[in-house]
Amino acid sequence: MSWPWAFLIVTLIGAWFTFNAYLPRLRRGATSVPSFFAGWLTGELAAHHFAWQVAATVFFVWMGALSAWPGWLGLGITLASWAALLGMVLVANRSADVVETALRSALGSEYDSELDRERAAGLERRAPRRHLAVPFLLYDRDVAVERNIPYADDRDRRHRLDVYRPRSGAPGAPVLLQVHGGAWVIGHKRQQALPLLNHLAARGWICVAANYRLSPKATFPDHLVDLKRAIAWIRTHIAEHGGDPDFLAVTGGSAGGHLTAMIGLTPNDPEYQPGFETVDTRVDACVPFYGVYDWTNRFGHDHGNGLGSFLERVVMKRSLADHPEDFERASPIARVRPDAPPFFVIHGSHDSLAPVGEARDFVRVLREKSNAPVAYAELPLAQHAFEVFHSLRTRHVVRGVERFLGWAWSRHVETPRGTAA
């Protein structure tokens, strides 16, 4: 094969990655999973994608790729791809404005003036720039991690959690529980939200990442019961690690976003606290990322992705038609209540695994029924799982979550739980 034709083929491959990031496949099919992974990595690592395309172009031009018309066509395609990748970088950078607008709309234009001095000072410290260059460097030297702490009195290896804390110590620090995703069947506490956990722990938070039992061995609500047990452990033991047991926020993505919302909307529900019914499982703030909020598909957002049949066969082990009440009770959108905690819902506009329309409806119902603030940030061009590693968008969103949680913590400091407002 000649160099001009080889160059054309390579540029078409690169252009497909770029095109797919803008228009991912939403319906289930043989190409849906490759489409997700390609769009996810290209959208979040657009600058890195641009770099390899430039390197490839320089190489092929040096080898004589422009000696025939296929090479010139390839050059035109790759220049268009570069322009589109630059557009992705600019859109990702706009996430800062999207997040800030969401916070000010929900919390008030002066919400940042309500932050306590320590939280406000911490917001001025930015994440290291090396994270953008090396996105999978998911370690922070200012953070200590205690791993695999049992949170239940049994030998189930899934009943373990990790505690992230600042090496400098932080007595009486606010606490965040992270719930991993993985479609309720896979996933691990060490795999997700590490940019957020390290960022917060380095700035004085105590962060807890918990495993829970997985389907098909586990049947919902086993997953939720386990996380309530983790909360019980936090109430009893987190002070030993420097945390304030009276303040707890929760976050998670995908299936973890669903479970995060369920935690926030089922406080002290004895159905999910067998044997520890008296433990206070209320939380002070919820930040679900790209979650699934309706297991009944009442608004028709299941775009042929097979989630309904998967839930019936693997997670619930019963049918929606025969047991609609069980699927209703497992749907956060059906559990919204006036005393729900403050929510910050985050979703990508280009999510090909969890439909963004479901997030919009969940936020609408929350705002209709909840007495607490509800912030919603819909991130342009963002895919599912966008914040698993460092990226420009991840940096802006993590700092926005820090501000939201700092606001919730400041309210707690001013009016501790159990006192009159």
Q: What is the 3-state secondary structure (H, E, C) of 17-83?
A: HHHHHHCCCCCCCCCHHHHHHHHHHHHHCHHHHHHHHHHHHHHHHHCCHHHCHHHHHHHHHHHHHHH
Helix (H) or strand (E) holding 269: none
- Give the C-alpha separation, 3 to 8, whole Å: 9
Q: How confident is the model at residue 421 (pLDDT cuts 50, 70, 90)?
A: very low
Share of the chain above pLDDT 70, in %: 93
Query: Which residue, 48, 62, 63, 59, is CA-closest to 17?
Result: 48
Q: What is the arrangement of strands in the sheet containing 243-253, beginning at the earlier edge strand?
A: 143-150, 160-166, 206-210, 173-179, 243-253, 285-289, 343-348, 374-379
What's the pLDDT band for 33 if we cut at 50, 70, 90? Answer: confident
Residues 154 and 261 in one domain: yes
Q: Determine the pLDDT at residue 349.
A: 96
In this structure, are 178 and 244 located in the same domain? yes
What is the chain's alpha carbon radius of gyration, rounded to the nearest angstrom? Answer: 23
Same domain, 84 and 100: no
For 323, phi and psi rounded to 5 degrees?
A: -135, 55
Q: Is residue 80 part of a domain?
A: yes
The rounded percent of the chain whose pLDDT value lies above 90 is 82
Task: Yes or no: say if 195 and 390 are a contact pair by the CB < 8 Å rule.
Answer: yes
- Residue 119 CB-density burial (10 A; 0-12 exposed, 13-18 middle, 19+ buried): buried
Residue 200 has pLDDT above 80, yes or no: yes
Task: Assess whether 62 and 208 both reside in one domain.
Answer: no
Q: Taking residues 105-132, report their average pLDDT.
A: 74
| Residue 345 covered by a domain | yes
pLDDT tens-place string over residues 277-306: 999 999 999 999 999 999 999 988 875 567
- Phi first, then psi, for residue 248 (nearest 5°) are -145, 125
Q: Where are the alpha helices (DSSP H) in 69-129?
A: 69-93, 95-107, 117-122
Of 92, 118, 137, which residue sits at a domain end? 92
Domain count, the chain: 2
**Helix, strand or coil for residue 196?**
helix
The size of the chain, in residues, is: 421
Q: Would the pLDDT of 29 be above 90?
A: no
Q: What is the pTM of this model?
A: 0.94
**CATH number reported for the structural domain that contains residue 163 in this entry:** 3.40.50.1820
Active site residues: 254, 351, 384
Residue 419 belongs to a domain: no
pLDDT for 117: 60
Mean pLDDT value of segment 223-233: 98
Nearest alpha carbon to residue 340 among 251, 267, 250, 245: 267
Given this model, what pLDDT does residue 127 score?
61
Tell whether the model's pLDDT for residue 82 goes beyond 80: yes
- Asked if residue 419 has pLDDT above 70, the reply is no
Q: What is the dihedral of CA 290, 198, 244, 411, to 10 degrees?
A: -60
Q: Is the pLDDT of residue 308 over 50?
A: yes
Q: 28-32, 246-250, 399-403 — which is least confidently predicted?
A: 28-32
Longest CA pairwise span in the chain (Å): 79
Q: Which range among 90-94, 109-113, 303-307 has the greatest average pLDDT?
A: 90-94
The reply to whether 68 and 107 lie within a common domain is no
* Residues 23-28, mean pLDDT to the nearest whole number: 75
State the distance between the two ends of the chain, measured CA to CA, in whole angstroms: 75
Question: Is the residue at 27 inside a domain?
Answer: yes
Residue 209: is its pLDDT beyond 50?
yes
Say whether both 162 and 64 belong to one domain.
no
Q: What is the pLDDT of residue 125?
A: 55
Q: Are residues 200 and 139 in the same domain?
A: yes
Last residue of a domain, one of 51, 71, 92: 92
Of 30, 63, 92, the last residue of a domain is 92
* Residue in the block written with tokens 């025969």: 322
Q: Label residue 418 by pLDDT band (50, 70, 90).
A: low
Domain-embedded: residue 421: no
Quick one: 237 exposed, middle or buried, by C-beta within 10 A (0-12, 13-18, 19+)? Answer: middle
What is the domain extent for residue 62?
Answer: 3-92
Same domain, 160 and 55: no
Does 315 share its domain with 327?
A: yes
CA triple 70-73-79, angle to 5 deg: 140
pLDDT the model gives residue 120: 53
pLDDT, tens digit (0-9, with 9 covering 90-100), for 319-372: 999 999 999 999 999 999 999 999 999 999 999 999 999 999 999 999 999 999
Residue 76 has pLDDT above 80, yes or no: yes
Query: Do 108 and 159 fall into the same domain?
Result: yes
| 58/198 same-domain check | no
One domain, residues 61 and 123: no
